[in-house]
């Protein structure tokens, strides 16, 4: 609820000064998508960056080498699996509405 309220405030404050909004990483779950639509409105388009688990894993492991992240392969794979489980219903939801654009 807090994230949604912050998004709403930011969008309302810029309304009229912009052609639209690009919201990165939200909604992550179906419940958030439904709440966004009921409190703010339906998005015109939803982008989904379609990336294999292998690519995500290798990029996250490379990130470990160049930063202070210390996730191991097992932790990364668990996070990726959790991401897929949470985002799959959101992707299906927007596919049914013909608002989804998958980007490889």
Give me the CATH number covering residue 22: 3.40.50.300
Binned at pLDDT 50, 70 and 90, residue 75 comes out as confident
Determine the Cα–Cα distance for residues 98 and 104; give it in Å rounded to an integer.
18
Binned at pLDDT 50, 70 and 90, residue 8 comes out as very high
pLDDT at 18: 85
Range of the domain at 9: 2-102
Please list the residues that pair with 102 across neighbouring strands: 48
What is the pTM assigned to this prediction?
A: 0.76
Determine the Cα–Cα distance for residues 6 and 86; give it in Å rounded to an integer.
22
Work out the average pLDDT over 70-77: 80
Provide long-range contacts, Cβ within 8 A and 24+ apart, for 64-67: none
Residue 67 has pLDDT above 90, yes or no: no
Three-state DSSP at 1 gives coil
Count structural domains, the chain: 1
Work out the average pLDDT over 26-32: 91
pLDDT at 33: 93
């Amino acid at each position: 609820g807090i994230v949604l309220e912050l998004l709403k405030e930011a969008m309302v404050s810029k309304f009229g000064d912009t052609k639209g909004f690009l919201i990165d990483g939200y909604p992550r779950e179906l419940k958030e998508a439904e709440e966004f639509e009921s409190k703010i409105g339906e998005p015109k388009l939803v982008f989904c960056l379609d990336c294999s688990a292998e690519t995500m894993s290798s990029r996250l492991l490379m990130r470990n080498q160049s930063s202070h992240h210390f996730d191991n392969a097992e932790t990364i794979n668990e996070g990726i699996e959790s991401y897929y489980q949470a985002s799959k219903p959101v992707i299906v939801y927007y596919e049914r509405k013909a608002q989804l654009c998958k980007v490889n």
